[in-house]
Structure 1
Amino acid sequence: MIQKTYLKTKDQCKVKFTMSLADAERVEIRGLNGDWDTPIQMTRKKGGIFESVLTLPRHTQHEFKYLVDGTEWRNDQEADGEAPNEYGGTNSLLVL
C-alpha cells in the first residue's frame, strides 16, 4: 500500500510504503530516485507488516520494486502503474 501526503510548504511529498508479509524476515525498497544499488530497509512491525516513510520531490516519477528476504522481487499492486524493465518484467511506478 502507498499513502501520499503532499507538503504544503515544500515541493515534496511524504510517501508511506506498507507491505504485509507474515513469513518474511526482511523487505527492502529498491530503485527509488534511480538508485537500484542502495536498499531502503523497511521496518518490521507486529503481524508481519513492513513499513517505510520517505520524503520525495514533488512532480517526479520513480520506478521501484520490493526485495523480500534478498531473493524475491515484488511489485506493489497499489502503485500508480507499471513500467517495463530490462529483464522482461515490470517495475512498480510511483508518480508524485
Structure 2
Amino acid sequence: MALKKSYSKDKVTCNVTFSVSKDAAHGAETITVAGDFNGWSSTETPLKKGKDGTFSVKVPLEAGKEYQFRYLLDGKQWENDWAADKYIPAPFSHTDNSVVIC
C-alpha cells in the first residue's frame, strides 16, 4: 500500500494517489477507498486494477487538511494503508483509521 501526493501549482489542491499492491490486495477482485472526503462511501471511489495486479486511484483533495480513510476489499474486508501518514482511533469500531495529511 502506498500514498503518493502531488500539489497543484497554487498549492490549493493535493492530488493523492491511493495504491494497494497485489500482495496487499489478498486476491481481491474489487477495492474501494472510503473516507471523510467522500462521505465514507463504500462505492463512490473504486480503485482500478493495473496489469501488475496493483490497484490505484487518484483523488483531488483540498491541501492543508487531514483526511481519514480505509480500503474496502471485495465489499467486505476493511484494511488500513500501511504507508499512511498516521493512524487515529475509529469512532465506531475497535480499530484505527488511516490518515493522509495534505
Structure with greater strand percent: 1
- How many residue pairs get aligned? The number is 96
CA contact (8 A) 2:36 2:69 kept: yes
Q: CA deviation at 1:34?
A: 5.9
Report matched runs for 1:29-40 at 5 Å: 29-33=33-37, 35-37=39-41, 39-40=44-45
Identity %: 31
Q: CA deviation at 1:10?
A: 4.7
Q: CA deviation at 1:48?
A: 1.5
User: After TM superposition, which residue ranges in structure 1, 4 or more long, deviate above 3 angstroms?
Assistant: none
Structure with greater helix percent: 1
Structure 2, gaps ≥5 residues long? none
Question: What SS class does the counterpart of residue 87 from structure 1 fall into?
Answer: coil
Structure 1, gaps ≥5 residues long? none
Backbone CA RMSD of aligned residues? 1.5
CA contact (8 A) 1:28 1:68 kept: yes
Once the two structures are superposed, what CA deviation does each residue of 1:31-77 show, in whole Å capped at 9, x if it has no partner? 14261135310001112210101111001111000000011100001
TM-score by length of 1: 0.91
